[in-house]
Structure 1
Amino acid sequence: MAYSASILTRAEARLKQAQRAHQLDQARRRAEIYRALPRTAEIDRQLRQTAPRILAAALRQGLGQEEALAALRRENLALQDEEAALLDQAGYPPDALEETPYCPLCNDRGWRGAAMCDCLKDLCRQEQIAELSSLLDLGDQSFDTFRLDYYDRQTWPEFHRSPRENMEFILSSCRSYAENFDAYPHKNLFFNGPPGLGKTFLSACIARVVSEQGYAVVYDTAANILSRFETRKFARYGEESRQAEADTRRYLTCDLLILDDLGSEFTSPFVQAALYELINTRLIEGKRTVISSNLNLEGVRQRYSPQVASRLEGEYLLMAFFGQDIRLLKKQR
């Protein structure tokens, strides 16, 4: 999963904090038990000293290695049994004094071989949702809070159905897309229609649900995304160039890219080429994309290129939004 470097860095920092807090909790618990049961502190000291003491005695007495190890095991087991009995009598679990990792799956490395451990993955997911929340209003935006009552039940002749019927289909499709992200038959969605009809709201709903499943999700406007491709190409060597390279790589490789407001950016031959590179590369790599725009396919064809329009028409599930501006209706109510 192509989490950004900033998300991974923040998640790793939080994991280290959690590990330190876990170690402090263990130290506090150990100190508490030692105060309540001083004999356990003495036993732990003896256990740490058993090996060198018995090996030294074995050398003095001429015992063999196997005899020394057997004596070591007997003494250790006796001390451990005594300590376990003391803990049990005081109501502590038998492992109360053991030093355990915060995450036993990866032993606090955050990785299990080349795979990210669940402990780090969960923190990446939280950081990603926090990052998305700074760009999208994820506060109360969910499929369950989407208001269908703002959409007219009267049939619009040019669409052969009502805005309400249309949005019921779109809402159901978007929910299924998000909840069955890997299995949904259409990998890509194209929302088009006038402003104020719910395109960004549903994009936020999809982003939330897919992020919560642990997938790497990137949301941004078309203007910001395409400007990073421009910076990647024209920036001189240095931090700006490296950052633009990292950003564009993330746009190309993340599990889900949500490209909002296509058509609002300044258009040039370079922007047209960058948009085609973005869409075509993600199609080739099998990566999923959601695009929203005020443009229909004919508008995309005229503004960008027939090739871009062809990719959208052939590889995206097209969802046309129509109806009255919801923002205006909310003000009127």
Structure 2
Amino acid sequence: MSVTADTPTTAPARGMNALGDLSAHLLSVLKNNGADMSQLGVPPQPEPEDGLWEDVSVPQARARQSMWRNSIIDAAHDDYVPFRFDHLDEAQKPKTLQSWLDSLIEAKKLDARPEILNMILPGNIGSGKTAAAISLGNEAAERGLWTLFVKHATYLTWRRPDSAPHNMKAWEVRKRFVECDLLVLDELCGEMDVTATEFARKETIDLIDARIAAGRPTAYTTNLRSRRQPGSQAMGVVDILGERLLSRLESSAHLAKIVGPDRRKPTQPLDW
């Protein structure tokens, strides 16, 4: 049998097709599912000039939003995922949080250190601090900031060997929470109002000091007072972190105290 000029004389090479052979549809599917496109020879999306990933169709922006959402789920606060400033009442200081977030966005665009670096949200148990802080994080993530949430006690647990989730190493935990644009550190010094281990002190000081030194903003919620009150055995934050670090934290901070009754308390007392 004769072979015409249009018939290939050799079979195509085995193995993966060249990148150019991948259809635009297939590339789109891979991106939407979080594939590492650099492994396929696709150059990464250039970083935005102002550092803000506002277009959620960009894989990096979608990844950051997923990290925020996952940090909320890891803390078992799934119910707060839809919360925005509009869901808060006046006692939860939505206008104050909105104004602060606006200043953080502006500072990020200018690659500048925020004038108010820290937001401290103290209040009694059940007053709505965590809901307010997560609403702040939800808004920040939508506006392009790399935002993470973690309970203080959880962070300390994850910093111990082989204790972090998602197969993360202890050093990766520190790196992630030090380097994110905005950290919501919930229940600062929680479960330490009577005793605090040297490990807890060291890790707490390291995290907060590193973020302050780098000019990265942090929102703190806490049930504790700043200092021990007369006649009380309960520690204040200064007794755990030390006067020097608390002074640094407060020197560039706004205090938004959330006052109100325990929102989780049943209307009628339960009879045990």
TM-score after normalising by structure 2: 0.66
Name the structure 1 match of 2:243: 306
* Aligned pairs for 1:130-279 within 5 A: 130-134=69-73, 135=75, 136=77, 137-148=79-90, 167=91, 170-183=93-106, 185-231=115-161, 243-265=169-191, 267-279=196-208
CA deviation after TM superposition for structure 1 residue 210, in Å: 0.6
Q: Distance in 2 between matches of 1:130 and 1:23?
A: 22
Residue of 229, 250, 255 corresponding to 1:318: 255
Q: Give the aligned CA root-mean-square deviation in angstroms.
A: 3.4
Name the structure 2 match of 1:154: none
CA deviation after TM superposition for structure 1 residue 315, in Å: 2.4
Q: Distance in 1 between matches of 2:68 and 2:249?
A: 28
Q: Distance in 2 between matches of 1:125 and 1:18?
A: 24
Which SS does the other structure have where 2:169 is aligned? helix
Name the structure 1 match of 2:34: none
Q: Number of matched residues? A: 209
CA deviation after TM superposition for structure 1 residue 133, in Å: 4.3
Q: Is the contact made by 1:121 and 1:214 (CA closer than 8 Å) also made in structure 2?
A: no
Q: Which runs of 5+ in 1 are unaligned?
A: 1-15, 25-106, 149-166
CA pair 248-320 structure 1, distance change in 2 beyond 3 A:
same
Q: Which runs of 4+ in 1 moved over 4 A?
A: 16-19, 21-24, 113-118
Q: Distance in 2 between matches of 1:229 and 1:311?
A: 23
Paired AA for residue 88 in structure 2: F
Name the structure 2 match of 1:20: 26
CA deviation after TM superposition for structure 1 residue 17, in Å: 11
CA pair 216-113 structure 1, distance change in 2 beyond 3 A:
closer
Q: Distance in 1 between matches of 2:29 and 2:142?
A: 28
Q: Is the contact made by 1:282 and 1:288 (CA closer than 8 Å) also made in structure 2?
A: yes
Q: Which runs of 5+ in 2 are unaligned?
A: 1-21, 31-39, 107-113, 228-235
Q: Distance in 2 between matches of 1:17 and 1:147?
A: 50
Higher helix share: 1
* Aligned pairs for 1:35-114 within 5 A: 109=42, 111-112=44-45
CA pair 20-219 structure 1, distance change in 2 beyond 3 A:
same
What fraction of aligned residue pairs are identical, expressed as a percent?
23
Q: Is the contact made by 1:261 and 1:292 (CA closer than 8 Å) also made in structure 2?
A: yes
CA pair 110-202 structure 1, distance change in 2 beyond 3 A:
farther
Q: Distance in 1 between matches of 2:208 and 2:68?
A: 24
Higher Rg of the two aligned structures? 1
CA deviation after TM superposition for structure 1 residue 110, in Å: 5.8
Q: Is the contact made by 2:68 and 2:148 (CA closer than 8 Å) also made in structure 1?
A: no
Residue of 292, 295, 299 corresponding to 2:221: 292
Paired AA for residue 213 in structure 2: I
CA deviation after TM superposition for structure 1 residue 222, in Å: 0.4
Residue of 59, 62, 67 corresponding to 1:128: 67
CA deviation after TM superposition for structure 1 residue 254, in Å: 0.7
TM-score after normalising by structure 1: 0.55
Paired AA for residue 42 in structure 2: R
Q: Distance in 2 between matches of 1:272 and 1:286?
A: 21
CA pair 110-274 structure 1, distance change in 2 beyond 3 A:
same
